[in-house]
Amino acid sequence: MFFAGVDIGSLATKVCIIDEDEKLVAYLIEKTGARIKEIGEKSLEKCLKSSGLRREDLRYVIATGYGRNLALSNIADEKVTEITCHAKGAKKLFPDCHTVIDIGGQDSKAMVLDDSGKVIRFTMNDKCAAGTGKFLEVLANTLGIELEKMGELSLNSKNPVNITSTCTVFAESEVISLLAEGKDVIDIVAGLHRAIARRVGGLVRQIGVVEDVVMTGGVAKNVGVVKALEEEINARIKIPEEPQIVGALGAGIIAKEKFFQI
């Protein structure tokens, strides 16, 4: 018996297929783009194909993420919020997890779980690009560096620049001025990671940090942001092997639980 979770995020669509022992059978990450309904369907088909499974092999499918409503009409049996799915996925991978920080492409969220994994407090920023993956994408573009290299690059900084603008658009102007002053790109990148960590740190403090802390979402792949955030919240952060699929994994596990009515 197989189950699937489909997380249609604002920037990336993630699919996880699990078996009845909650073992990950296959996963996939695709760009979401503008055709939200199609991307959910196409991604699920592609993931099924890669694992040699057919649609009929899936007993239950849960959709989550920003495009979850559209997925309901064609691929999913039910929809569940991202908060619940990220919590479920993080708890599965790290049983002692009590705080989850999810930084995605367009928003950032933090939640505190009780010992059973139930979300007892949460907060989110979905009003502004500051403190999200989009902030880093825009600034990577301004600096002419690859997003995937930002993290490693910043670890070599000895003098991180203080970025004072919270707003993405103003931060871009600030970075252009800093470049004109001759500041080192590495130090600017480290400063940007600190800026995002300050912003997300404020969010996390609203709900209180309870260890173990786990970070999910695509931005967790940036080691510079993780390090800056650890300093900001004064706690070690655990990172899953593939942090971007944790919401889809949680959705898959919830699909299994709903099927067996656990």
Ligand X SMILES: Nc1ncnc2c1ncn2[C@@H]1O[C@H](COP(=O)(O)OP(=O)(O)OP(=O)(O)O)[C@@H](O)[C@H]1O
Q: Is the peptide bond before 184 cis (omega within 30 degrees of 0)?
A: no
The torsion defined by the Cα of 256, 63, 135 and 103, in degrees rounded to 10, comes to -20
66 belongs to the binding site for ligand X (CB under 6 A): yes
Min dist CB 245 to Mg ion, Å, is 10
Q: Residue 241, exposed/middle/buried by CB under 10 A (0-12, 13-18, 19+)?
A: exposed
Q: Going by DSSP bridges, is the β-strand pair 78-79/119-125 parallel, antiparallel, or unpaired?
A: unpaired
192 belongs to the binding site for ligand X (CB under 6 A): no
Min dist CB 53 to ligand X, Å, is 23
Question: In this complex, which beta carbon is closest to ligand X, that of residue 124 or of residue 235?
Answer: 124
Residue 226: count other Cβ atoms within 10 Å of its Cβ. 23
The torsion defined by the Cα of 178, 180, 186 and 191, in degrees rounded to 10, comes to 10
Min dist CB 222 to ligand X, Å, is 4
Min dist CB 206 to ligand X, Å, is 18
> Which residues, 17 to 36, sit near ligand X by CB under 6 A?
none
137 belongs to the binding site for ligand X (CB under 6 A): yes
Q: Pattern 143-162, binding to ligand X, x per CB under 6 A? A: ----xx--------------
11 binding partner (options ligand X, Mg ion, none; Cβ < 5 to 8 Å by kind): ligand X
Question: What is residue 59's three-state secondary structure?
Answer: strand
- Residue 227 token pair: 């390090």
**Binding site residues, ligand X, CB under 6 A:** 9-12, 65-66, 104-107, 133-134, 137, 147-148, 217-219, 221-222, 244
